[in-house]
A and B are shown apart, each in its own frame.
Chain A
Amino acid sequence: MLFPLISILMLLLICLTGVIWLRFTFFFGVVFPYAASFIFIAGCIYRVVIWARSPVPFCIPTVCGQQKSLPWIKSDKVQSPSTSWGLIRRMASEIVFFRSLFINDKTELKKGQILSNDASRLLWLGGLIFHWSIFIILIRHLKLFVEPVPNYVLFLQNIDGMFQFGSTNFYLTHVFILISLLFLLLRRMIFSRMRLISLFTDYFALYLILAVVVSGILMKYVYKVDVMSIKRVIMGMLAFKPFIIADINPVFYVHVFFVCVLLVYFPFSKLMHMGGIFLSPTRNMKNDSRATRHVNPWDYPVKVHSYEEWEDEFRSALKEAGLPVEKKKSRRNKGENG
C-alpha cells in the first residue's frame, strides 16, 4: 500500500525536478511523450498479436445458459451462444456492461453454519463507472487532437459539463472517476481478503491513474491552463513538428508525465486486460462443439490401447463369457501393455 504510493511520489519528484529545476522541458514535453506513445502502441500490438497467435486447441466456453438442443426447449442464445450473433451479444454484454460482475454475489458464513448469499453489485457499479468515465474523458480529450473538433465530442462535452458550480462548469466524469477510483483503492485497503490478494502492481496502477486524474483536474480547475496553447503543442507533435511553450504551468508537464508513465506501464501490466477480454476462449467461443468440429492445430497421435491388443489380453475371458471375438487365437508375442 505504502510502497506504490511512495513510488508515485518519487515519479512526481522526478518530473518536478526535471521541469522546474533542470528545465528539461523538451525532454518532458516532447521526447518522453513520443517515446511513451511508441512503447504503448508497439507494446499493445505485440501483446495482442502474441495472444491472438496462440492456438486455442479446444472449444472451452464457460456456458451460462441453456444449450441449444431440442427444438421445444428454449435455449439461452446469449449466455450459451450457438450463433455468431448470440456470441456478439454475449461479448458485448461483458465488454460494455460487465455482465459477469453484474451477477456477482457475496457469500458469508453465518452462525449455525449457514451460508448466506446476497447480491453484491458494488464492484460492478464501481468498475462500470470507472471504465465508462475513462472512456468519456478520453473521447473528450479528442478535442485536443482533432481539428475541427467532431460534433459528437462537443455533444459529449456538453452533456458531461452540464452542471455548474459557481461560475465554472465542471465535468461529471471528474466526480465519477474520483469517487470510483477511491472506491477501488479503499476496497483493496479495507477488506482483509482484498488486502491479501493485492499486489504492489494493483495499488501502483490505481495510484498512477489517480495521479493522472488529479493532475488533470488541477490543470482545469485550479491552474486553469490555457487549452488553446496546449492544443497547438499537441497538433505540432502530431504533425511531427514539435515545439514547446515556455510559460506553461508545470502542472501540464506533470499531467503529461503521468500519462506517459501510464502508457509505458500499460502494455507490460495487468492493464492489458482491456485487450485480453476480447480473446478469452471461455467467453468468445460458441457452445456448438458437438455440432461443429473444433480442430486442434497442434494435435498429435498418442499411444492408445487398441481393440486388438485388448482382445488379445482378454480373449479367453471373452470366449468364456460367450462374448463375440474378432480372432479365435491369441497372437502370442504382441505386447500386452499397449
Chain B
Amino acid sequence: MAEERLKKPDEILNDVDLAPEDQDWFMTKPDFRKGTYLYSAPLKHQNYLGLPNQREWNPADTDWKLPEDWKEIILNGMADLIKKHRSFRLFLDICVRCGACADKCHFFLGSGDPKNMPVLRAELLRSVYRRYFTISGRLFGRFAGARDLDEDVLKEWFYYFYQCTECRRCSVYCPYGIDTCEITMMGRDLLNRVGCNVQWVIEPASNCFRTGNHLGVPPHAFKETLDFALDEIKNLTGISVEAPINRKGAEILFVAPSADYFANPHWFTLLGYLMLFHEIGLDYTWSAYASEGGNFGLFHSAELAKRLNAKIYAEAKRLGVRWILGGECGHMWRTIHQYMDTFNGPADFLEEPVSPVTGTKFEHAKSTKMVHICEFTADLIYNNALKLDKSRNDKWSITFHDSCNPARSMGLFEEPRYIIKNTCNNFYEMPEHTIREKTFCCGSGAGLGADENLEMRLRGGFPRANAVKYVHEKHGVNMLACICAIDKAAFPPLLDYWVPGVGVCGVHELLGNALIMEGEIERTTNLRGEALTDEDVDDVR
C-alpha cells in the first residue's frame, strides 16, 4: 500500500458529510487504509501477558490467522459476556435507533463514516447478537436486523472498536443511557479471545505488568528521572526537594501516570506535584513497583485491568501507608473511581483519607481510600494553606478541557476549575456543549494514541480542537489545561494541526508556577524555563 500524504487541515474534512447517503451498511466493508487503523500487538508482549492465539499478524492482510474455531470462540464469548454484564445484554436489546447519539461522537464528526455513529458502532455487535441469541433474529434474519458472523464482520469490529475512545459522550445523550464504551469494551474483549489485539494497548500493558509502568521504566531509571526533576526544581526555586521512593511507613502513597515523569508537557505537572508536596511537608512516598496510575488493561478487558490495578493496593499494604493520593490522569481515574474497589478491594488495611494539612476528611473516598490530587489541592487552597501568585501565569490565557473519564465517570468539574481560578488570572470556558459532561474527547484515548492512526486521531480530535479554536480566536486563549496524561500527549500535535499557537499544560503545572514556596529565590521563569511575561502574547490578545 502506498504511503499516503497526510492531508492539510483545510482539505481533510472535504469528504466529510454528516448526512451520509443512505446505504446498506450490512454490506459495506472497512477500508484498512494507512492512517486509520492500529498495528497488531507484538508477539513478545502477547506472550508475556499470556494472551490467546499468539502469532504475528497484520490487520491489512487478508488472512488474519484466526484459530479454526474462531466463530465458536466468539459466540461462546458473547454468551459469556451477556451472562456477566447486564449492561451488555440490555444495551444490545433496547436501542430504538432514535438517532440522538449520531452526531455526538467525535469520530463521526471528524470522519463522516456512518459506522462511527454510536448507534451503528453498537449495531455491528447487535446484528450478530440478534442472529444467534434472539428468537426473532433466528426466525426472521435480515428482517429482524440480524446478520451472520463472518470474517468480514470480525474485521469490521476490529476497525471500529479501535476507532472508539470509550469517552462515553454518546451515553449522556442516549435516552436509555446506552453506553458505547461498554459495547466497545465487550467488542475488544471478544476480539482478544481470538487474538486480535493492538500494539498500543498490549505493549504498555505488558510493560506495566512487568516493570510497574506503561513505559517500561525500571526502578533505577525511575529514581534517576525523579532526581532529575528535583535538580530542575532546585535550579528554578533554589530549594532542595525530596521525592521518597518505596519508603515504608509514609502516611500517603502517591501514584501518578508514568507519562508524568517521562513525557512532555507532563513533566511540568510532575514538577508541580513535587513542589506542592514539599511546600506542605507531606509525609508521602512514590512507589517504583506501583509506578503507574494509568491502566491500559482497561482498554483491553476487565481481567487485564484488574491484573494491572492490583499493584496499587498491594503496594499500599506493603508500605503500610494510610491512604493513597492519585495524580492527573483520565482513564486512571475511571479505573480508580468505578473499578478499583470492586477489582481489588476492600482496602480495609487503609484508613479513611484525611488531609494532614487541613484536617479535611475525604468522606466521598472513604471506601476506596484514594483521593484525586485536584480534590486534595482544591481543599488546600480553600483553607488558605497555600500562598499563590496568580500573575506568574499571566502570559497565558487558559481554557480547561474536561477529560472524558474524570468528567463522565466522576463528575470532577469544579475542583480543577477552582485550582485554575486561584492560580491564573485569565481563564475562559469553551462553549457550553463542549465542556463538563458534554466534553469532547481528545480523540486519542482508550489506546488510540499511536502514530500509525494519526489521521484518524486528528479527525477524532477535530470537534475538541474546533472549540479550542473558538476561544483562541475570541479570547486569545493560548494554553489548554487538562488533567489527563493521554490528553497531554495527544493535544500538542492535535492543536498544532488545527489551532497552532495553543499550548498544553497540566493543572498542577499552573499550581507549580503560582506556588510561592518558603525560601525560594525570585522566580524569573515558569516551570518551562520561559520568561514569566511575554510581550508578544499581549499583542495577540
Point out residues on A near B: beta carbons under 8 Å.
Answer: 3, 47, 50-51, 54-60, 62-70, 72-76, 79-80, 82, 94, 98, 100-101, 103-109, 113-115, 117, 123, 127, 187, 191-202, 268-270, 272-273, 276-277, 279-283, 287-296, 298-299, 302-307, 310-311, 313-314, 317-318, 320-324, 337-338
Q: Other than the known A273-B95, A290-B337, what 12 A-B pairs have Cβ atoms closer than 8 Å? A: A54-B83, A54-B84, A56-B85, A57-B85, A59-B338, A72-B382, A197-B117, A281-B90, A289-B337, A290-B336, A291-B365, A323-B219
Q: List 21 A-B contacts (CB under 8 A).
A: A59-B338, A67-B411, A70-B378, A101-B173, A107-B104, A108-B103, A113-B462, A187-B99, A193-B99, A200-B143, A281-B90, A290-B365, A293-B342, A296-B342, A298-B84, A299-B343, A302-B310, A305-B209, A305-B311, A317-B219, A323-B219
CB within 8 A of A200: which of B96, B145, B302? B145
- Please tell me if the beta carbons of B289 and A307 are within 8 angstroms of each other in the complex: yes
- Please tell me if the beta carbons of A66 and B411 are within 8 angstroms of each other in the complex: yes
**For chain B residues 1-24, which have a beta carbon within 8 Å of chain A?**
9-10, 13, 16, 18-23
Nearest B residue to A311, CB-CB: B289
Chain A contacts for B415, CB-based, 8 A: 69-70, 73
CB within 8 A of B89: which of A54, A57, A191? A54
Nearest B residue to A304, CB-CB: B310
CB within 8 A of B364: which of A76, A197, A291, A317? A291
Nearest B residue to A56, CB-CB: B86
CA distance A144 to B63 in the complex (A): 64
B533 at the interface (CB under 8 A from A): no
B134 at the interface (CB under 8 A from A): yes
Q: Do A62 and B175 contact each other (CB < 8 Å), given the known contacts A296-B342, A314-B218, A318-B219?
A: no
B359 at the interface (CB under 8 A from A): no
Q: Do A55 and B90 contact each other (CB < 8 Å), given the known contacts A65-B411, A323-B219?
A: no
- Please tell me if the beta carbons of B100 and A123 are within 8 angstroms of each other in the complex: yes
Nearest-Cβ distance from residue A317 to partner chain B, whole angstroms: 4
Nearest-Cβ distance from residue B86 to partner chain A, whole angstroms: 4
B276 at the interface (CB under 8 A from A): no
- Please tell me if the beta carbons of B18 and A107 are within 8 angstroms of each other in the complex: yes
Flag B425-437 by CB within 8 Å of A: 1 or 0 each. Answer: 0000001010001
CA distance A56 to B83 in the complex (A): 10
Chain B contacts for A306, CB-based, 8 A: 314
Chain B contacts for A313, CB-based, 8 A: 210
Q: Do A109 and B86 contact each other (CB < 8 Å), given the known contacts A282-B171, A292-B367, A293-B341?
A: no
- Please tell me if the beta carbons of B20 and A192 are within 8 angstroms of each other in the complex: yes
- Please tell me if the beta carbons of B220 and A63 are within 8 angstroms of each other in the complex: no
Q: Do A60 and B338 contact each other (CB < 8 Å), given the known contacts A279-B86, A307-B315?
A: yes
B414 at the interface (CB under 8 A from A): yes
CA distance A114 to B307 in the complex (A): 43
Chain B contacts for A107, CB-based, 8 A: 18, 103-104, 109, 463
- Please tell me if the beta carbons of A70 and B379 are within 8 angstroms of each other in the complex: yes
Chain B contacts for A72, CB-based, 8 A: 382
Q: Do A302 and B119 contact each other (CB < 8 Å), given the known contacts A106-B103, A113-B10?
A: no
Chain B contacts for A317, CB-based, 8 A: 218-220
Q: Do A268 and B247 contact each other (CB < 8 Å), given the known contacts A194-B99, A307-B318?
A: no
Q: Do A272 and B20 contact each other (CB < 8 Å), given the known contacts A100-B175, A302-B310, A307-B314?
A: no
Nearest-Cβ distance from residue A219 to partner chain B, whole angstroms: 28
- 10 tightest A-B contacts by CB? A67-B411, A276-B94, A282-B177, A54-B86, A321-B220, A283-B177, A199-B145, A290-B368, A80-B411, A63-B411
Nearest-Cβ distance from residue A203 to partner chain B, whole angstroms: 11
Point out residues on B near A: beta carbons under 8 Å.
Answer: 9-10, 13, 16, 18-23, 25, 48, 50, 82-87, 89-90, 93-100, 102-104, 109, 114, 117, 119-120, 123, 134-136, 142-145, 168, 171-179, 182, 209-212, 218-220, 223-224, 245-248, 288-289, 302-303, 306-307, 310-311, 314-315, 318, 336-339, 341-343, 345-346, 360, 362-368, 370, 375, 378-379, 382, 407-415, 418, 431, 433, 437, 462-463, 466-467
- Please tell me if the beta carbons of A290 and B411 are within 8 angstroms of each other in the complex: no
CA distance A55 to B90 in the complex (A): 11
- Please tell me if the beta carbons of A192 and B84 are within 8 angstroms of each other in the complex: no
CA distance A94 to B136 in the complex (A): 29
Chain A contacts for B339, CB-based, 8 A: 58
- Please tell me if the beta carbons of B409 and A63 are within 8 angstroms of each other in the complex: yes
- Please tell me if the beta carbons of B437 and A305 are within 8 angstroms of each other in the complex: no
- Please tell me if the beta carbons of B220 and A293 are within 8 angstroms of each other in the complex: no
CA distance A311 to B13 in the complex (A): 51
CA distance A106 to B413 in the complex (A): 24
- Please tell me if the beta carbons of B246 and A302 are within 8 angstroms of each other in the complex: no
Nearest-Cβ distance from residue B451 to partner chain A, whole angstroms: 24
Nearest-Cβ distance from residue B108 to partner chain A, whole angstroms: 9
- Please tell me if the beta carbons of B175 and A57 are within 8 angstroms of each other in the complex: no
- Please tell me if the beta carbons of B96 and A321 are within 8 angstroms of each other in the complex: no
Chain A contacts for B246, CB-based, 8 A: 318, 323-324
CA distance A288 to B13 in the complex (A): 41
- Please tell me if the beta carbons of A51 and B382 are within 8 angstroms of each other in the complex: no
- Please tell me if the beta carbons of A282 and B337 are within 8 angstroms of each other in the complex: no
- Please tell me if the beta carbons of A103 and B84 are within 8 angstroms of each other in the complex: no
CA distance A297 to B120 in the complex (A): 31
CA distance A303 to B303 in the complex (A): 9
- Please tell me if the beta carbons of B288 and A323 are within 8 angstroms of each other in the complex: yes
Nearest B residue to A194, CB-CB: B99
Nearest A residue to B414, CB-CB: A73
Candidate in B171, B182, B379 with the most chain A CB atoms within 10 angstroms: B171
CA distance A287 to B223 in the complex (A): 37
Nearest-Cβ distance from residue A229 to partner chain B, whole angstroms: 36
Chain B contacts for A287, CB-based, 8 A: 410-411
- Please tell me if the beta carbons of A67 and B364 are within 8 angstroms of each other in the complex: yes
- Please tell me if the beta carbons of B437 and A64 are within 8 angstroms of each other in the complex: yes
Nearest A residue to B209, CB-CB: A305
- Please tell me if the beta carbons of A60 and B223 are within 8 angstroms of each other in the complex: no
Chain B contacts for A324, CB-based, 8 A: 246-248
- Please tell me if the beta carbons of A303 and B173 are within 8 angstroms of each other in the complex: no
Chain B contacts for A321, CB-based, 8 A: 219-220, 223-224
- Please tell me if the beta carbons of A196 and B303 are within 8 angstroms of each other in the complex: no
- Please tell me if the beta carbons of B367 and A197 are within 8 angstroms of each other in the complex: no
- Please tell me if the beta carbons of A108 and B18 are within 8 angstroms of each other in the complex: yes
Chain B contacts for A277, CB-based, 8 A: 94, 175-177
Nearest A residue to B14, CB-CB: A113
Nearest A residue to B466, CB-CB: A115
Candidate in B23, B134, B179, B303 with the most chain A CB atoms within 10 angstroms: B179
Chain B contacts for A320, CB-based, 8 A: 220
- Please tell me if the beta carbons of A65 and B437 are within 8 angstroms of each other in the complex: yes
Nearest-Cβ distance from residue B121 to partner chain A, whole angstroms: 11
Nearest-Cβ distance from residue A202 to partner chain B, whole angstroms: 5
CA distance A193 to B108 in the complex (A): 12
Chain A contacts for B9, CB-based, 8 A: 113
- Please tell me if the beta carbons of A105 and B433 are within 8 angstroms of each other in the complex: yes
- Please tell me if the beta carbons of A193 and B20 are within 8 angstroms of each other in the complex: yes
Chain B contacts for A307, CB-based, 8 A: 289, 311, 314-315, 318
- Please tell me if the beta carbons of B86 and A51 are within 8 angstroms of each other in the complex: yes
Chain A contacts for B176, CB-based, 8 A: 273, 276-277, 280, 283
- Please tell me if the beta carbons of B144 and A201 are within 8 angstroms of each other in the complex: yes
CA distance A146 to B83 in the complex (A): 41
Candidate in A47, A194, A273, A324 with the most chain B CB atoms within 10 angstroms: A273
- Please tell me if the beta carbons of A54 and B109 are within 8 angstroms of each other in the complex: no
Q: Do A193 and B136 contact each other (CB < 8 Å), given the known contacts A62-B172, A113-B9?
A: no
- Please tell me if the beta carbons of A302 and B306 are within 8 angstroms of each other in the complex: yes
Chain A contacts for B114, CB-based, 8 A: 193, 196-197
